[in-house]
Structure formats: structure tokens, C-alpha cells
Amino acid sequence: MALITNIRHFFERHGFEVASRFADKLGMRATNVRLFFIYITFVTAGLWFGVYITLAFWLRLKDMVYTKRTSVFDL
């Protein structure tokens, strides 16, 4: 259990350090950089969800337009 705690603390220390260093280079607050990363994560996930919904709609529309007819008299 101590090994897992040590690994978690390592990644917490160095993960927050990345945002802090990036903020220092840009002359911003670290909290603003972290919020930017969080917002960008939601935007990219939402973008692909929109693409998925659009493709599902197109497939449904294709199935409605190109239906198979069993005989000539089904027109």
C-alpha cells in the first residue's frame, strides 16, 4: 500500500510542477493554466461526441433512403 501512495505522491508533485513551470514561462497563474487544460479536455471530448452523433444520423438517413425492396410492386 505504501508503494501505491509513493507513486501517487510522485505523480501529484511532478504533474502540478508541469503546470507551474508552464505558467512561469508564460507569466500567468498556475490555476489558469490548469483550468485551460481542463476546458480543452472537455472541448476535445465533446467534439468527438458530436462527430459520432453526426455519423450515426447519416447512417440512419442512408438506411431510410436506400431501403431494399423485395419486389417490383413495392413502389
pLDDT digits (tens, 9 = 90+) for 28-40: 998 999 899 889 9
pTM of the complete model: 0.53
pLDDT for the residue numbered 67: 67
| Helix, strand counts (H, E) of the chain | 2, 0
With DSSP H G I counted as helix, E B as strand and the rest as coil, what are the percentages for the chain, rounded to 5?
A: 85, 0, 15
pLDDT for the residue numbered 69: 65
